[in-house]
Amino acid sequence: MGVWWWRLLFAALSGILFSAQPCASQKVPKYRFMQNARTAANISYYDYIVIGGGTAGCPLAATLSQNYSVLLLERGGSPYGNPNISNLAAFGAALSDTSPSSPAQRFISQDGVINSRARVLGGGSCLNAGFYTRASPQYVREAGWDGRAVNESYEWVEKLVAFEPPMKQWQSAVRDGLLEIGVLPNNGFTYDHIEGTKVGGTIFDHNGFRHTAADLLEYANPTRITVLLDATVHRILFRVKDGSKPMAHGVVFRDSLGRRHKAYLNHHPRNEIIVSAGALGSPQLLMLSGIGPSNHLKAHNIRLTLDQPLVGQGMSDNPMNAIFVPSPRDVEVSLIEVVGITSFGSYIEAASGENFAGGSPRDYGMFSPKIGQLSTVPPKQRSPEALAKATKDMESLDEAAFRGGFILEKIMGPISTGHLELPSRDPNHNPLVTFNYFKETRDLERCVQGLTTVEKIIESKAFSPFRYPNMPISLLLNMTASAPVNLLPKHTNSSLSLQQFCRDTVMTIWHYHGGCQVRKVVDNDYKVLGVDALRVIDGSTFNDSPGTNPQATVMMLGRYMGVKILSQRLGAAPSA
């Protein structure tokens, strides 16, 4: 199956030229409290030290700085002034940059699915597809959170970084298709998680300009916060007194010149270190600090602080599968704007148009081999050579082959879990992580049900202007897996093949979580069990991914826990 097939299919179609959205010029905050770690003192003291300036870490540090001195340590650089981060149409540019200075650090799970993690102030919110949507009331209840404080925290986040998406023709057709096939009711535009079809929020504003968790530092008290960039934390330091629990009291971090710095907590029993290094970084850092399965730590010559076999367990990544639908007419460039929340635990979302991923306008944005998405070969075969070949093939396709969009399904949960291990004692090395996609049958069933729903949308009347009338579903499926790039599915026998299609074309939607789960590694207040003065607050604590997409809840959690920590300590709720 070669490129010629595509040439034939699209030969008669005229290409449309991609026109990039103008680079929106926006006010860029000049945080005078933000500096490079090279300028940091060798030793410094704070009331709170937050490790990881990501999606949870930024709102958390901003909130704590209202009343206490806070150090926020981020291994990456600033997101400000980088068009790869700021522009919606550049989605994929950062993800396709695999250099050591990239804001995205690529990793490949042991399952073979190519993935990415943030390395920049603002974390995943600087790389993501922007969709902003809250967790369900049931999720909030089961997490044991206070519903009112949760709502206030969401609102605090939304005031700065959430917007209503533009909803042009293609996204509207997907929405109308969902309604036509019975994913009801129509819930209009809302941040709320309600069964049915809705338009969700986005962190891209009306100019296609991205707002991120780093923007929440505008809420910080500039006199009480220090943000250090290029500051990689290597270890948390514990004070161990006979008969009491190990107590976290400092951290070791290195700047970009490799120079070592130490930061300690001011001496007060309620001062704390909080790890917000993300689902890969947080369990990794606990292990590097001696909290983890003792045998594993011993194998790496790490001095044991606490034998905790559950650190690094419960790792999950929600599988994503998608079908590409070429369009006979022009489509807008869109990331996720609409979601169908089905009754059977599959979420339907979509993205359209050509998104730049590294200079060429001929690209598939969220589904580009340039960013590691490769559904045309099964996970274990996604070698660097396979990626390079797909990227090269893509360049020779007719432009018309890029007109259209992907309708995707992601399953809730998931139920399948895996685990994480250290490859070495170097915090810059990606941990080895296994997600076990579709290990549990229920996950596979939800994928099949989700794809069946996607097929119905493609065949709906509402969506018909955006598909070729002579292209049956079997061909589209065949396309997403057999084309030179992510277009066609491999298995033509649809009854048998949807399960196989799920396994063969599985990609990530980057909602991986777990590793420091609540009631396993941390308690209900996110305090690490078995030690003092240490919490973990970020996506690593989740048992399931919240909402249809997690970032709203990750940011909310940073704010929510900041407020909770302050009010427990001050005896009153701080004012916003």
Ligand X SMILES: *[C@@H]1O[C@H](CO)[C@@H](O)[C@H](O)[C@H]1NC(C)=O
Ligand Y SMILES: Cc1cc2nc3c(=O)[nH]c(=O)nc-3n(C[C@H](O)[C@H](O)[C@H](O)COP(=O)(O)OP(=O)(O)OC[C@H]3O[C@@H](n4cnc5c(N)ncnc54)[C@H](O)[C@@H]3O)c2cc1C
Positions annotated as catalytic residues are 511
Q: What one-character-per-residue DSSP string does 512-527 give?
A: -B-SS-BTTTB-TT-B
The residues that touch ligand Y, with contacts defined as CB under 6 A, are: 51-57, 73-76, 95, 116-120, 123-125, 127-131, 232-233, 276-279, 281, 285, 336, 427, 510-511, 538-539, 549-551, 554
Binding status of residue 44 toward ligand X by CB under 6 A: no
Binding status of residue 67 toward ligand X by CB under 6 A: yes
Q: Which is nearer to ligand X, 138 or 244 (CB)?
A: 138
Report the nearest approach of ligand Y to the CB of residue 349 (Å): 8
331 annotated ligand binder: no
Where do the DSSP E strands lie in 356-503?
Answer: 404-411, 418-421, 432-434
Binding status of residue 93 toward ligand X by CB under 6 A: yes
Structure tokens at 541: 């604590």
What's the CA gap between 356 and 69, in Å, rounded? 41
Binding status of residue 147 toward ligand X by CB under 6 A: yes
Residue 427 interacting entry, from ligand Y, ligand X, none, C-beta within 5 to 8 Å by type:
ligand Y
One of 63, 66, 226, 282 touching ligand X (CB under 6 A): 66
Helices (H), 300-383: none
Site string for ligand X, 496-525 (x = CB under 6 A): x-----------------------------
369 annotated ligand binder: no
Q: Which is nearer to ligand Y, 131 or 356 (CB)?
A: 131
120 annotated ligand binder: yes
Instruction: Residue 543: count other Cβ atoms within 10 Å of its Cβ.
Output: 18
206 annotated ligand binder: no
Cα separations in angstroms, 506 against 43, 315, 390, 500: 47, 17, 16, 10
554 annotated ligand binder: no
Residue 74 interacting entry, from ligand Y, ligand X, none, C-beta within 5 to 8 Å by type:
ligand Y
What's the CA gap between 410 and 547, in Å, rounded? 11
One of 259, 303, 392, 429 touching ligand X (CB under 6 A): 259
Q: Which is nearer to ligand Y, 278 or 484 (CB)?
A: 278
Residues making up the chain, counted from first to last? 576
Q: Which is nearer to ligand Y, 322 or 401 (CB)?
A: 322
Instruction: Residue 39: count other Cβ atoms within 10 Å of its Cβ.
Output: 9
Residue 147 interacting entry, from ligand X, ligand Y, none, C-beta within 5 to 8 Å by type:
ligand X
Q: Which is nearer to ligand X, 51 or 563 (CB)?
A: 563
Q: What one-character-per-residue DSSP string does 411-422 give?
A: ESS-S--EEEE-
- Residue whose C-alpha is closest to residue 326's, from 306, 357, 353: 353
What's the CA gap between 245 and 237, in Å, rounded? 13
Report the nearest approach of ligand Y to the CB of residue 551 (Å): 3
Query: Which residues share a beta bridge with 420?
Result: 433
169 annotated ligand binder: no
Residues ≥6 apart with Cβ < 8 Å to 273: 48, 49, 50, 51, 236, 248, 249, 250, 251, 265, 533, 534, 535
The CA radius of gyration of the chain, in Å to the nearest whole number, is: 23
Residues that bind ligand X (CB under 6 A): 1, 42, 66-67, 82, 84, 93, 96-97, 137, 147-148, 151, 192, 221, 259-260, 358, 474-475, 478, 482, 492-493, 495-496, 570, 574-575
List residues forming the annotated binding site for FAD: 120, 233, 510-511, 539, 550-551
List residues forming the annotated binding site: 120, 233, 510-511, 539, 550-551
